[in-house]
Amino acid sequence: MEITLLLLFYFSVPVLLQWAATRYSWIDKIGVVTLCYVVGIALGNIPGVNVPLGFAKQFMGVIVALSIPLLLFSSNIAIWRKLGPKLLLSFLGCVVSVCIAAAIGTWLFKEMMVDAWKNAAMLIGVYVGTTANMNAVGISLGVSSESFGVVNGAEMLFGGAYLLFLLSIAKPVFSKFLKTKDSHEVDVAFSVDEKMYPKSTPIAFLLAVIFLALAFGLSKLIFPNATEQQELMVILLTITTLGLIGSMSPRIHNLKGSFGLGTYLMFVFCVAVGSLASVRAVFNAAPAILGLVVVILVIAVVLHCLYCRLLGIDTDSFLIASTAGIQGPAFIGPVTKAIGHESLIPVGIALALL
């Protein structure tokens, strides 16, 4: 598929879905975020359509790096003292739950596959970090490229299914087991304008571009020999910091349209990441590897939920910590929007980077 057409698809789908959501209640009910991801998956699995992996990954990296400061400009750091500790405690529970789940998965599948513990270790890497961590663990343990490809594909498929769950019905489901926050408190703590404005939105975008350039330059200056994955993490950490600093400036904080543009870019990202999920490749893999991924993911989420119930941690803190660990920083924006608690974006991204 030509890159020009691919870019046109990535950028036009969110526009069409946002327009449709204002006219059809069922689309608004499902959610633009969820549908962006579904449409991307549909594109990636059309016979004969090949999405360039290298280009798509670079494109997603740029989109995420631009969207983060745009989303953070509207943030209110004063609420961190109230929201931060619970999220940190919840994230700790997520990390411990993933490790326990990986140990259980290794024990269950050790007779069904060679080096089950290595595959489980890679899944720990991705479920408490990102795919970059998964790759680093795989390289350090000497995992073959074939095994890495299969585990990564299975994780994308089932991780994608969990993401769809997070973006749709996760909050009402987990609210049956965990305590919920008062919606009025959320509205008072944080409110955003999702519209875009012809005068101020371009200024916000220009600031995001400048911040990205500064972050890229800093990564090259401090870590000249860093790998592409390490470089991306440095850029994300730097641009998050710059976005938060910018939010403390009244002029930047009050720029109209910054959050709306950041949200749109996150929609674009969801279409792009969905287009890389190949269902065919995963189901051609060994059943044992698919089973290992499912077991570790399900057990980790269940243990994390039980942990949060035991400590009285609320549903939103559970969901954002789970997103930070299992999905990574790129998905904090979409999930916070889906659960109606955008105030968790700053600490959610901080946890995901941690």
- What's the average model confidence in pLDDT over 208-232? 84
Residues 287, 285: Cα–Cα separation, whole Å: 6
User: Please, are residues 67 and 333 in contact by the beta-carbon 8 Å criterion?
Assistant: yes
Per-residue pLDDT at 132: 62
Per-residue pLDDT at 82: 62
User: Please, are residues 240 and 68 in contact by the beta-carbon 8 Å criterion?
Assistant: yes
Instruction: List, for residues 54-101, the tens digit of each pLDDT value.
Output: 788 788 878 888 988 888 887 767 666 665 677 889 999 999 999 999
Per-residue pLDDT at 244: 87
| Tokens representing residue 345 in the block | 């974006």
Averaged pLDDT of the chain:
83
| Tokens representing residue 166 in the block | 């997070």
Residues 202, 205: Cα–Cα separation, whole Å: 5
pLDDT at 183 over 60: no
Nearest 5 degrees, angle CA 66-CA 69-CA 75?
A: 150
Closest CA to 154 of 324, 330, 279: 279
User: Please, are residues 109 and 130 in contact by the beta-carbon 8 Å criterion?
Assistant: no
- What's the pLDDT band for 186 if we cut at 50, 70, 90? very low
Per-residue pLDDT at 147: 73
Residue that wins the pLDDT comparison between 140 and 104 = 104
- What's the pLDDT band for 285 if we cut at 50, 70, 90? low
| Tokens representing residue 125 in the block | 């890497």
| Tokens representing residue 69 in the block | 């400061």
- What's the average model confidence in pLDDT over 227-245? 81
pLDDT at 14 over 90: yes
Q: HSE of 178 in the Cβ direction (CA atoms, 13 Å)?
A: 27
Nearest-10 crossing angle of helices 258-274, 53-72: 160
User: Please, are residues 32 and 269 in contact by the beta-carbon 8 Å criterion?
Assistant: no
- What's the pLDDT band for 205 if we cut at 50, 70, 90? very high
